[in-house]
Amino acid sequence: MSHHNTVLSQLLKFIPRHEFDPLAKQHHTGQKLRKMSRWAQFVTMSVAQLSGRASLRDVVDNVRAQ
């Protein structure tokens, strides 16, 4: 069985994670992160934007379904 990357995976390859993490730490202000990492939040918001989700509840339901 062959392996195929998803379109989302291919898009995220354009954003180098080794550059994302220091920038996220540098610009983070506020409370400590609770459950999700900054990268997971970024991926979730990217999926929501690309799939045209209309509300936060819609985003949460979509993430739970995944």
pLDDT in tens, 5-62: 888 888 888 999 899 888 888 887 777 767 888 888 888 888 888 888 888 898 888 8
- What does the pLDDT read at residue 56? 87
Count of C-beta atoms within a 10 Å radius of residue 44: 17
Residue 3 in this model has a pLDDT that exceeds 80 = no
What tokens does 10 get? 């291919």
Its pTM surpasses 0.85: no
Sequence spans of domains, the chain? 36-66
d(CA 51, CA 31): 28
d(CA 32, CA 30): 7
- What does the pLDDT read at residue 64? 84
Residue 66 in this model has a pLDDT that exceeds 80 = no
- What does the pLDDT read at residue 1? 63
